[in-house]
Structure 1
Amino acid sequence: MNKNLIAAGFVSLLSTTAMAETIGVSMALFDDNFLTVLRNGMIEQAEALDGVDVQVEDAQNDVAKQLDQINNFIASGVDAIIVNPVDTSATQAMTDAAAAAGLPLIYVNRQPVNVDTLPDNQAFVASNEIESGTLAAFEGCKLLRAAGKAGGARIYVMMGELSNQAAVQRTKDFHDVIAMDMCNFIEIIDEQTANWSRDEAQDLMTNWLSAAENFDAVFANNDEMAIGAIQAMKAAGIDMADVIVTGVDATQDAMLSMAQGDLDVTVFQDAAGQGAGALDAALKLAAGEDVDQKVYIPFQLVNPANLAGFMAKN
Structure 2
Amino acid sequence: MIKKLVTATAFCGLMAGAAQAQTIGVAMSLFDDNYLTVLRHNIQRHADDLGVTVQMEDAQGNIARQQSQIENFVASGVDGVIVMLVDADSGRAMSRIAERADVPLIFVNMLPANMDDFPAKQAWVGSDEEQAGELQATEMCRLLGGEGDAVILMGQLGTTGQRGRTAAVERVLQSEECSGINVLDSQTGNWMRTAALDLMTNWLSSGMQPDAVFANNDEMALGAIQALKAAGISMGDVVVGGVDATQDAMAALQAGDLDVTVYQSARGQGEGSLDTVLSIIRGEDVPQRVGIPFELVTPENVAEYVDQN
Q: How does 1:131-150 map to 2 (within 5 A)?
A: 131-145=131-145, 150=146
Partner of 1:24: 25
How far apart, CA to CA, are the structure 2 residues paired with 1:297 and 1:31? 23
1:213 Cα offset (Å): 2.4
Q: Which has the larger radius of gyration?
A: 1
TM-score (norm: length of structure 1) = 0.93
Cα displacement string for residues 182-230 of structure 1 (whole angstroms, at most 9, x for unaligned residues)? 1111110000000000000000000000111242100000000000000
Percent identical among aligned pairs is: 52
Paired amino acid for 2:66: Q
Note closer, same or farther for the CA distance 1:12–1:251 as it changes in structure 2 (3 Å cut): closer
Note closer, same or farther for the CA distance 1:28–1:142 as it changes in structure 2 (3 Å cut): same
Over aligned residues, Cα RMSD in angstroms? 1.4
Note closer, same or farther for the CA distance 1:170–1:293 as it changes in structure 2 (3 Å cut): same
Partner of 1:260: 255
How far apart, CA to CA, are the structure 2 residues paired with 1:13 and 1:195? 41
Paired amino acid for 1:238: I
> 4+ residue stretches of structure 1 with deviation over 6 A?
none
TM-score (norm: length of structure 2) = 0.94
Note closer, same or farther for the CA distance 1:121–1:39 as it changes in structure 2 (3 Å cut): same
Quick check: 1:48 aligned with 2:14? Answer: no
How far apart, CA to CA, are the structure 1 residues paired with 2:54 and 2:114? 25
Quick check: 1:102 aligned with 2:99? Answer: no
How far apart, CA to CA, are the structure 2 residues paired with 1:139 and 1:117? 35
Partner of 1:130: 130
1:312 Cα offset (Å): 5.5
- Cα pair 1:196 1:224 within 8 Å, conserved: yes
195-204 vs 113-122, which moves further: 113-122
Partner of 2:210: 215
Q: How does 1:1-314 map to 2 (within 5 A)?
A: 13-21=13-21, 22-50=23-51, 52-145=52-145, 150=146, 152-311=147-306, 313=308
Note closer, same or farther for the CA distance 1:128–1:93 as it changes in structure 2 (3 Å cut): same
How far apart, CA to CA, are the structure 1 residues paired with 2:190 and 2:208? 23
> Number of aligned pairs?
299
How far apart, CA to CA, are the structure 1 residues paired with 2:12 and 2:213? 50
Structure 2 residues without counterparts, runs of 5 or longer:
1-9
Partner of 1:4: none
1:12 Cα offset (Å): 9.0
Partner of 2:5: none
- Cα pair 2:203 2:209 within 8 Å, conserved: no
- Cα pair 1:74 1:98 within 8 Å, conserved: yes
How far apart, CA to CA, are the structure 2 residues paired with 1:86 and 1:186? 33
SS for the counterpart of 2:89 is: coil
How far apart, CA to CA, are the structure 2 residues paired with 1:263 and 1:16? 45
Structure 1 residues without counterparts, runs of 5 or longer:
1-9
Paired amino acid for 2:284: E
